[in-house]
Amino acid sequence: MTKMTLASYPHMLGFEQLERLLERTAKGSEGYPPFNIEQTSDYSYRITLAVAGFGEEDLSITVEDRQLVIRGRQSEDTDGRVFLHRGIAARQFQRSFVLADGVDVGEAVMENGLLHVDLTRAKPDTIVQTINIRKG
């Protein structure tokens, strides 16, 4: 059985990049940290990550090649501490979200162990283009 791709459909022209984005998104979808994505209006979204134990200085948010990348790295400060049990992991993470054209990253806010990242999408323009037919 052959794998169906977007290029296999003759009416889907120019969607090769979308196929690459889908493949890139499917890779490495680890479950930590947990997150929510909510639509806050017709043209805005909010991504919320549960980052308990991380401070603002432990987190970085970048946009790389239309991809929102959120990284967390906690510093190991075990100076003079002796753990009898260590159940709270201080592990690093990276979460990536592919952004569509026209989606911009707004502000990021830390609140009660949750990192909120706001996104806005430009309002679509309704454009009708008429193509003239010339005699050949």
Q: Report the CATH number of the 30-121 domain.
A: 2.60.40.790
Domain spans of the chain, in order of start: 30-121
Rounded to the nearest 5°, which phi and psi values hold at 39? -95, 120
pTM greater than the 0.75 cutoff: no
Q: How many residues does the chain have?
A: 136
Is pLDDT at 128 greater than 60 in this prediction? yes
Please give the structure tokens belonging to residue 122.
Answer: 């430009």
Q: Which residue has the tokens 């459909």?
A: 9
**Digit-coded pLDDT (tens) for 30-48:** 688 999 999 999 999 999 9
Q: With contact defined as beta carbons under 8 Å apart, do 80 and 15 qualify?
A: no
What are the strands, taking DSSP E only, across the chain?
35-41, 44-50, 59-63, 67-72, 93-98, 103-111, 114-121
**Digit-coded pLDDT (tens) for 48-90:** 999 988 999 999 999 998 899 999 998 776 678 888 998 877 7
